[in-house]
Structure 1
């Protein structure tokens, strides 16, 4: 791959605060947490919002026991990469349904945390790992809509009464997208912390037949993605910059002679 084809990093000053919105405990840990480790090491404040507690994820335990175990493992995994704010909502694991209530809860979290960027998983049916899981698709779609709701004072106006003024993040970052635009170099310590964050989900992973060990899996994933940046290990994202005109607008203006 030539230098002109390599994906760029984000600007050094792109982010001060990032909110990651996902469906389940462990969703951030399949590679993305290495990027989180890199960001927090540079002083970026990162928070997690989980829509469920993952209570349907372990056949051998009851949903109540699973929810408690997975909550504890997620908090431990988050601490490994420098994240101390981890909020859990109570939507049902495995049967997430897109709703206005979900959009409102996500918008409320965005207004409260006031991030520069919201990070979500792919909402496409097919993504980099194959066929996407149903909850992941719902979470991604609700998050991108909740992001826009957060900036509109006339959508969910009851949030104003709670002291939550509108807030519009500049960036939307999508992990697992087949069309990445940017990458984060996680070579070295960020990769090690990312691996450790997935290892923190040890009891959950032990219940998945044939699940590969975290170290070779995350090392291999980030090595594959690193090729797109020309580095040893990377995490890739599709980034939408809401301060920039849409590509179609730029092309139309160029064709129009502006």
Structure 2
């Protein structure tokens, strides 16, 4: 099948692409773009009660369910422990291989140089380091190199709120319901682990009560659901991306033209 564009979102944990870029990737999928999510860890530390092995399996099921809401074509989860991600040679090789196999035109990932979760920073660093080798056939020779380096974008997360540049702002008002349902599919994170960490577990809705689930996510994750004040455009729901200083050189105008949203 021929696609107008191929996008790869590389994150550290199974729920993050949905939260930080789900609205944009759903809009892209709706116009025929092939979107893949790559999680560099299996998320097996993200709970206050479940042990690693059953949690890993449950989070994978949640991820695949979320993908259906967003039109994501492929969802790859590396079997690396949550909390133990390092931007080492093995991870870099896995990222190079994934970018090449997907033949990604655009790669979206985290900032690698700001506060926040160490796994998130390591994921961003792995993409930064991998980007220079995507066209070099002597590196990872088992996977054919790309003809040109992909464009790389940084997505926001809680640690990047104060450093992120809103170079590209996407109105996700038409895809916010799909994004919220994809987030809700990650019940371990949105209705169990994070509410427990924040001390609001008593307010968490019963799974399956969609109006209550929707309201709960909008209440406790507003900075990633509603448009931030720093964004331009006046959109109620928006997602923001920063042009990376690595990968193929480009401009916000070119990216918006490629997105065609």
TM-score bracket, normalised by the shorter chain, equals 0.7 to 0.9
Task: Tell me which residue corresponds to 1:232.
Answer: 236
Partners of 2:64 and 2:89 lie apart in 1 by 27
8 Å contact kept, 1:219–1:233: no
**1:133 and 2:117 correspond:** yes
Select the residue among 210, 217, 242 that pairs with 2:248: 242
Whether contact under 8 Å (2:155, 2:241) holds in the other structure is yes
Q: Is the 8 A contact 1:148 1:168 kept in 2?
A: no
TM-score scaled by length of structure 2: 0.77
User: Contact 1:25–1:54 (CA<8 Å) still a contact in 2?
Assistant: yes
Q: Are the equivalent residues in 1 in contact too, given 2:97–2:143 (CA < 8 A)?
A: no
Tell me how many residue pairs correspond in the alignment: 221
Residue 65 of structure 1 is matched in structure 2 by 54
Unaligned 5+ segments in structure 2 are 205-215, 252-261
User: Does structure 1 residue 142 correspond to structure 2 residue 126?
Assistant: yes
Q: Is the 8 A contact 1:111 1:167 kept in 2?
A: no
TM-superposed CA distance for 1:170, in Å, is 3.6
CA distance in 2, matches of 1:171, 1:121: 14
SS of 1:46's partner is strand
Aligned to 1:78: 67
Write out the 4+ residue segments of structure 1 that deviate beyond 3 Å after TM superposition.
166-170, 215-222
The 3-state SS of whatever aligns with 1:98 is coil
Greater Rg over alpha carbons, structure: 1
Q: Structure 1 length normalisation: TM-score?
A: 0.78
Question: How far has the Cα of 1:110 moved from its partner?
Answer: 0.7
**Other-structure match for 2:193:** 207
The CA distance in 1 between the partners of 2:148 and 2:29, in whole Å, is 22
Task: Select between 73-82 and 212-221 the one with higher mean Cα deviation.
Answer: 212-221
Distance 1:138 1:168 in 2: 24
Determine the structure 2 residue equivalent to 1:172: 152
Q: Distance in 2 between matches of 1:215 and 1:187?
A: 13
Q: Contact 2:169/2:240 (CA < 8 Å) preserved in 1? A: yes
Name the structure 2 match of 1:3.
Answer: none
In the TM superposition, what is the alpha-carbon distance from 1:29 to its structure 2 partner? 2.1
Q: Find the aligned partners of 1:112 and 1:153 in 2 and give their Cα distance.
A: 13
| Aligned residue number for residue 171 of structure 2 | 185
Q: Secondary structure at the match of 2:133?
A: helix
Q: Gapped runs of 5+ residues in structure 1?
A: 1-14, 127-131, 246-258
Instruction: Determine if contact 1:31/1:194 at 8 Å carries over to the other structure.
Output: no
Distance verdict in 2 for CA 1:167–1:88, change over 3 Å: farther
Q: CA offset at residue 217 of structure 1? A: 4.4
